[in-house]
Amino acid sequence: MNFPWLHFSGDAVADRAIGVRSGRGLTKRAPAKLCSRVPWGVLGASIIAHRASPGGAPTAPRPRPRRAPRRAPRLGRKLKPKAPPSAAPVPLLPPLSDSVWKPTPVAEEEVLQATEVNGQSSLKDVAAEVWQGGRALFTERWSDLLTVRKALNMIAKRVSFVSTDEAATLRERRRLLRDAARRLFVRVQRSGELCLEGGPALGYVPVMYGKKSTGPLVFRANDVTALNVAWQFFLNGLNYSFLSHKLHPFFGVYFTLSPTEHFQLLRDWLKTWKPSSPSRDGRVLDLGTGSGVISFLVQQLCPEAEILASDRCPNAVFSVTAELQRAMIPRIRVKRSDLFEELTEEAPFDLIIFNPPWVPEPPERSAATTAGTEADVVFGNDYPPELFPRLFAEVSEVLQPDGHLLVLFSNYAQCRGLAERSPMEDGLRTLKLNQVQRRPVEETDRNKHRQTRRDKSWSFKEKHQVELWDFMKKNDRAIGSALVLEICAKFGADMFGDRDFWCQNAAK
């Protein structure tokens, strides 16, 4: 069977389609099979050329330009090396003051008591020895230290505790892990390089301890972790969406990037606030400034206000001072003070903003503070039991008669089962509560994932909300009445006779 209207642009295509090379003849399905193997562009051009020719003889189609085949990448091909990512510039720092707190290197006497850990050491035996009170000095690999810390964590999970309270058991387990990690030692060069293969560089070491001194330093594993993490945050900075520039907190300064809903409550409140006296711009105290977030937020929303940032932590005072020098902001001053002890000469203030810790201090932390022992770098941020009674008792002396005390708080401790009541209730005795604003904290996907892996004792028992408590000063008559009511409730109403009479005339 012949197909005169077909024409092939190449003999190889025709031979392969008809089967000449393989010796096979055409079958009944040959036309369909043949057409399926012929390129449609060649087939269409052949049909048009056949119909256009007067004698019916096909003419050769116009040749198509041949494309070069794509080459597969060669395995041995050398790619152009990419430029390494540029390191973030180190933020400028003023000269380090003597009051700045820094980790204390391990004494040589304690280092001599440690067992050296090298490539031939059994890391499982090292972890067991450290858990029993021994000490270990790592001399070769950073991964050995991580393996031992992981083994210590597994040992802590197998330890049984007498307490039936799951939250108390978890706190005790974490305390034992911290104590064990303090007995793991690492040598660090003055330049910040660890004397271990694969270890991170500690940028704070040359800043705090100087490069010119000779001989390496020995640090505890807890301090090495804290120095490394704090340096990364200082180098890269904190980016808050409501601030115009990044913050670079110094070592030992508490900060948090989440949640930020309480800062949104403060922003909304500040947008409507004006000093009661039009003759003054407003004096604002950022009590417990930390990294200075609130001071910079107030400066953006109230540019004419005179702002004083204070903190009891010398590292926070140094950090905010350095931040002000980098940002060149003149209307913010920084002073070190434990609550209002050093601020009597600066008083009175039109507005005092306090963003305290949200978690009460655990009993073991209170005992360590009372005993005068050295604080652990990574212990956390919590408030002592005397903080809020002192705050509410002393704030009236430094506040304007029509001034405001704003406390940014939350029900986090109640949600975790760490506290039964809010310490804000103590302020109702000496201050007038103007308003309380609350906003729920959005639960991120990461927090949902972490809660599924944690113990049930750490799951939220109620919805987490941030709070803004707006207090104002009471007049003397109201304070006297409140004291009479409190004494009557404690010792009995018969102590004063006519209680209503004493309440009405308490201030006279």
* Model pLDDT, residue 378: 40
Q: What angle do CA 271, 272, 276 make, to 5 degrees?
A: 125
Global pTM exceeds 0.75: no
Task: Decide: 456 and 170 in contact? Cβ < 8 Å.
Answer: no
**According to CATH, where is 3.40.50.150 located in the chain?**
237-474
Task: Decide: 314 and 101 in contact? Cβ < 8 Å.
Answer: yes
* Model pLDDT, residue 495: 44
* Model pLDDT, residue 300: 94
Per-residue pLDDT 10s for the chain (508 aa) are: 444 444 444 444 444 444 444 444 444 444 444 444 555 554 455 544 555 555 555 556 666 777 766 665 555 555 556 655 566 788 989 999 889 999 999 999 999 999 999 999 999 999 999 999 999 999 999 999 999 999 999 999 888 776 667 777 887 888 899 999 999 999 999 999 999 999 999 999 999 998 766 789 999 999 999 999 999 999 999 999 999 999 999 999 988 888 999 999 999 999 999 887 665 678 999 999 999 999 999 999 999 899 999 999 999 999 999 999 998 988 899 999 999 999 999 989 999 999 999 999 877 665 554 444 444 444 457 899 999 999 999 999 999 999 999 999 999 988 888 888 899 999 999 999 999 999 999 876 545 544 444 444 445 667 889 999 999 998 754 444 444 455 455 545 454 455 454 444 444 4
Provide the pairing of β-strand 349-354 with 306-311: unpaired
* Model pLDDT, residue 240: 94
* Model pLDDT, residue 41: 52
Task: Decide: 62 and 43 in contact? Cβ < 8 Å.
Answer: no
Q: What is the dihedral of CA 8, 10, 12, 18, to 10 degrees?
A: 10
Phi first, then psi: give them for residue 340, nearest 5 degrees. -110, 15
> 237-474 belongs to which homologous superfamily?
Vaccinia Virus protein VP39 (3.40.50.150)
Q: What angle do CA 69, 41, 43 make, to 5 degrees?
A: 125
Beta bridge partners of 435: 470
Distance of CA 231 to the CA centre of its chain: 13
In the DSSP assignment, the letter for residue 238 is B
* Model pLDDT, residue 136: 97
